[in-house]
Structure 1
Amino acid sequence: MTAHNLFFTMRLRAAAELLVGNLQLMYPDGNKINYTATSGCAGWQQEGDQWQRGKGPIPQGFDYKIPTTPYWSDTRGIEGNFFHITPDPVVSPTGLTRSEFGIHFDAGFPGSAGCIVFDREFGWGRFCERMRAIALSGVEYIPLQVVYS
């Protein structure tokens, strides 16, 4: 049996509108739950934007993980449960850094400053319920893989 895993995938391209991707939660038995999610701001979701602080999507290529138990954040645009993504910060091959990523509900202007965000309350609620159940089973962290096409 494999462990729980999270996979965030999105097609990066030039677009004026906000692009959406898929966050998949995989259970050890192979069961998969898919959620609509995004990362980055409209107009800043191209391949080269991954290192644009405050605008681009979360960079791919790191061994990310998230805790199964969130913390509460009063930060504007989050204002709720926040699953902090680590490592924090991440550094590009040229020395650029990005930090403070998480998975949360998009409580502000659509899009994110690099976090993976949900725009549908129902999906967000179900994700939080599933993460709580996983935490209660004794799992503290889940690996997260970010892949762009």
Structure 2
Amino acid sequence: MSNPKLTFSMKLSDSSSLVTGNLELIDLDGKEIDYLATSGLCGYQDKDNIWTRARGPIPPGSDYSVPTIPYYLSTKGIEGNFFHITPDPITSSQGITRGEFGVHFDANGPGSAGCIVLIRKESFNTFCERMKKIADAGVNSIPLKIVYS
């Protein structure tokens, strides 16, 4: 049995179009499963906006963790299962705080206020099923790495 891991990767870009990336889940069997994902809003997905609240992508560099069991949120844009990313909040070296990040379906698309959102509903449903299997095996949370290029 392998230790599950999550890695979100995306090429940061100053683009007026939505920049997409990849959320990779390594499951209990060591199998790598990739999901089309994004973080941040169009026009705010570059390195200069990492600490822009409610618009920029999730900041890199924290020792993030994702629970294997979500909770339900009726919040517009989420409207479903929400895997709350911790620590929450995080603070930049300049004292700027950001938080309330999660992994969820991009229900109000396109983009997010900093969460990692899966763009395809079928993919998010599959992600939820895989996370449940990992939870059923006794794993409560999975480390999350953020990689930007």
The TM-score range, normalised by the shorter chain, is: over 0.9
The corresponding residue for 1:67 is 67
2:73·2:80 contact (CA, 8 Å) conserved in 1? yes
Give 1:10's aligned residue: 10
User: Deviations for 1:82-115, whole angstroms, at most 9, x for unmatched residues?
Assistant: 0000000000011100010000001113100000
Any idea what the Cα deviations from partners look like across 1:17-75, whole Å, max 9, x if unmatched? 00000000013443100000000000000011110001000000000001100000011
Q: Which residue of 2 aligns with 1:123?
A: 123
Stretches (4+) displaced over 2 A: 27-30
Matched, 1:135 2:132: no
- Decide whether the 8 Å contact of 2:70 with 2:82 is kept in 1: yes
Give 2:103's aligned amino acid: I
Question: What's 1:35 paired with?
Answer: 35
Which stretch shifts more, 28-37 or 65-74?
A: 28-37
- Unaligned stretches of 5+ in structure 2? none
Could you say what secondary structure the match of 2:48 adopts? helix
Normalising by structure 2, what TM-score?
0.97
Unaligned runs of 5+ in 1: none
Superposed, 1:84-103 pairs within 5 Å as: 84-103=84-103
Deviation at 1:3, TM superposition (A): 1.2
- Which residue is 2:26 aligned to? 26
Work out the CA distance in 1 between the residues paired with 2:147 and 2:110.
21
3-state SS of paired residue (1:103): strand
Percent identity reads 55
> Could you tell me how far 1:2 is from its partner in structure 2?
4.5
Distance 1:50 1:19, change over 3 A: same
TM-score normalised to structure 1 length: 0.97
Match of 1:45 in 2: 45
Query: How big is the alpha-carbon RMSD for the aligned residues of Structure 1 and Structure 2?
Result: 1.0
SS of 1:55 mapped into structure 2: coil
Aligned to 1:55: 55
CA distance in 2, matches of 1:28, 1:77: 30
